[in-house]
Amino acid sequence: MLLLAAVALIARAASKGSNLLLNIGPDASGQIPAKAAIDDNKDSLWHSHPEPMAKNDPLPPPQSFTVDCGAVREMRGFTYTPRPVSCSVGVVDKCEFWVSLDGKDWTKVAEGSFPDVLESRKTREVKFVKPVKARYFRFVATHALPIDDRLAVAEVDVF
């Protein structure tokens, strides 16, 4: 059971025409640019925490964001692009990928583990066991290197 929705914001994704429902931590008060995870720009980042993060106020995983694709579509897998090499804090190396038809009932369809993520920030592709039909997807960051109390993601997409 995921319990991640403390605050929900809705923003318009710039390039993919999706509504972004973004779940942020219970103590977050700032505008977190989660839409930056689906803007086709590897230099813009989703952060799990407000900027600047309070020194004694970590937001440990899992942290997530949820995307409304606007209509039911077939999904065969997802891609994940780590944050650029210019910073190595909170680089997500483990994640889960969930999908939903209605935004209420969720099914985990994949897990990702990228142990070489600090050395290589290339885009990773994870295929589901079988294609699924869904309108919503949720990227859940479950661990990060080398610091696990904040998380950042450059890009996530479905294919």
Q: How far is the CB of 157 from Ca ion (least distance, A)?
A: 10
Binding Ca ion (rule: CB under 5 A), the pick from 20, 21, 24, 36 is 36
Residue nearest to Ca ion (CB): 44
Helix (H) or strand (E) holding 65: strand 63-81
Does residue number 44 form part of the binding site for Ca ion (CB under 5 A)? Answer: yes
Contact between 10 and 67 under an 8 Å Cβ cutoff? The reply is no
**Cβ-based nearer residue to Ca ion, 97 or 106:** 97
**Cβ-based nearer residue to Ca ion, 67 or 132:** 67
Judged by CB under 5 A, the number of residues near Ca ion is: 6
Does residue number 79 form part of the binding site for Ca ion (CB under 5 A)? Answer: no
**Cβ-based nearer residue to Ca ion, 43 or 102:** 43
Give the DSSP letter string of 131-156: EEEEEEEEEEEEEEES--SS-EESEE
Spatial distance between the Cα atoms of 156 and 124, rounded to a whole number of angstroms: 9
Partners of residue 124 on adjacent β-strands: 80
How many CB atoms are closer than 10 A to CB 145? 17
**Cβ-based nearer residue to Ca ion, 24 or 132:** 24
54-63 core/surface letters (b: 16 or more CB in 10 A; e: else) = eeeeebebbb
Residue bearing tokens 């209509």:
71
Binding Ca ion (rule: CB under 5 A), the pick from 4, 27, 33, 41 is 41
Does residue number 75 form part of the binding site for Ca ion (CB under 5 A)? Answer: no
Q: Of the ranges 32-40, 57-65, 114-122, 127-135, which one interacts with Ca ion (CB under 5 A)?
A: 32-40
Q: Given the rule CB under 5 A, which residues bind Ca ion?
A: 36, 39, 41, 44, 154-155
